[in-house]
Amino acid sequence: MEGCCNRSNRLTWLFFAIFIVVPLLEIFAFIQVGSLIGALPTLALILFTAVIGALLVRWQGVKVIMDARQSLARNELPLAAVLHGGLLLFSGLLLVTPGFVTDAAGFLLLVPGFRGLAATQIWRWLEVRTKSRGKSAAETGRRPAVIEGEAVEVDSNETSHEPHRETSPWTSRGGTTR
């Protein structure tokens, strides 16, 4: 139960940050930059960063696609390329969102070294999440599910196509399957 509440608490703080803190920071940045350079240059700067960011994301996205193709040509799963591609997509979303704070985060994800560090951290987080869910019954202390069954040997040379009629809980009284 502790993990559930802890996870719920983290989600609450994440939503609070996304929907309250980030917009407040953006408004503050708009006011500060606007007071320094004026309203129209501020709007032009926001549009300029969106266009430049989109072009950079596209350019780096082509490289990620090429890396994925090379991995596939070597019969390897392109996991790193998929992770980098996802981070580039997120970077693009941040860059087209109007604001200086989101633009800074988006441009930071365009730096290959930082994106590699972020990808490593995400990969470690995913490994921990999947290992904790993939524990065996012995590791979790639970008894494994037992499914009882019956095997019947069928002779492929047998000419009769008549099904074997034996009473079992899976057949009705007439010997047919339910």
Q: Which of 85, 80, 108, 103 is nearest to 93 (CA)?
A: 103
| Domain boundaries defined on the chain | 7-134
pLDDT tens track for 134-157: 565 556 666 767 788 888 888 777
Find the helix or strand (DSSP H, E) in which 127 lies: helix 112-133
Judged on CB neighbours under 10 Å (0-12, 13-18, 19+), 160 is exposed
For residues 143 and 137, give the distance between their C-alpha atoms in angstroms, rounded to a whole number: 6
pLDDT for the residue 166? 61
Confirm if 178 and 170 have CB atoms less than 8 A apart. Answer: yes
Q: Which segments of the chain have a pLDDT < 70?
A: 1-5, 132-142, 144, 158-178
For residues 168 and 20, give the distance between their C-alpha atoms in angstroms, rounded to a whole number: 64
* pTM (two decimals): 0.66
